[in-house]
Amino acid sequence: MDYQARVDELINGAAKPPESLGLLEKHLRKILLAWGYMHPEIKPHHFIFAADNGVVEEGVVNFPAEITYLQAKNMVDGKATISCFCQANNIPYSVVDVGINHKEAAGINRKVALGTKNFMKEAAMTVSEFEQAWRIGGEMVAGAVREGTNLLSFGEMGIGNTTTSSAVLHALTGILPEFVVGYGAGGTNEVLRRKRVVVAKGVERHKAEFRSIEDMLRSVGGFDIVAICAAMVECARQQVPFVIDGFITAVAYACAARINKDTENFAIPSHLSKEPGMAYALLLGNILVDDVPIRANMALGEGTGAILMVSMLKTMVYAIYHTARLCDFTLSQPEAVQLAAI
């Protein structure tokens, strides 16, 4: 029996009607095939990459940029929503400061710079800064895998990063900003209108430099998106599955899938964000909306949806290894039944 047949037997041989656990069975099968070996336990780790974005100078958010540092500190101190989600589900997490605009670091200090530049005026990052952010993402994954992690999930923190991710998606697809730019955190109609203009004009400003996906990320992206994208590519290299969170991580995934198509074999969706570009971003990596398990109208980020999915997957792995097997049942032969005439 080959490995794929063994995976099918493990899932289909449990004492339940076939496919009765729906998407949980589908994604469990994907995890087992990604690992390439049977393992009775998920050992997860969640990474939150935090950075500031220079484009906030354009009035694309309703919150002050200082929130990035303050909320990242809350995460480190165990007082943010994502911290509580992780703690409630016994999932270890790390906050990685890849570019918060504050002299002190929040979490693991891997600052590339004190935020990106305003892409309405110049490229968001230099080639050197891009390469540094890319290395950080890969190194975080490699370190976690060395310590025994076999499932990763990703979140982010950065005021203005729905604008940078919308810009990357617009650059990647050419889809009009009206279809991919959403309100973000606490946006108003006026902020939404401004964001759409900024995304359109910002991408147009740098369009001539777009010779690769990396150029798009460097020109209009953020350090958090770059690090997450690199982390996802490294997951594929390490043969470790990962869970996508909301819009920002979905855009990072769309880029990762274009850079290395093998990344698609390791990606698990979690929830469908309120951001309008979410479905487009997932589709670029061949994940259909119907494959997304959680519909909770969430838009927080940080990886909250991803952690809920990791918890569901942990439950599914435990169940599939501990539930009774169909082959253990002793069934009597059904007796012939005389049906009444109708």
Q: CA-CA distance, 241 to 216, in Å (whole number)? A: 25
Round to the nearest angstrom and report the end-to-end CA distance of the chain.
48
- Which phi-psi region, left, alpha or beta, contains residue 90 (left: φ > 0; alpha: ψ -120 to 50)? left
Instruction: Identify whether 302 is a catalytic site residue.
Output: yes
In this structure, are residues 298 and 274 in contact, taking their beta carbons and an 8 Å threshold?
A: yes
The residue annotated as part of the active site, out of 129, 264, 302, 335, is 302
The residue count of the chain comes to 342
Q: CA-CA distance, 151 to 164, in Å (whole number)? A: 27
Q: Which of 160, 278, 145, 302 is nearest to 223 (CA)?
A: 160
Catalytic positions, written as ranges: 302
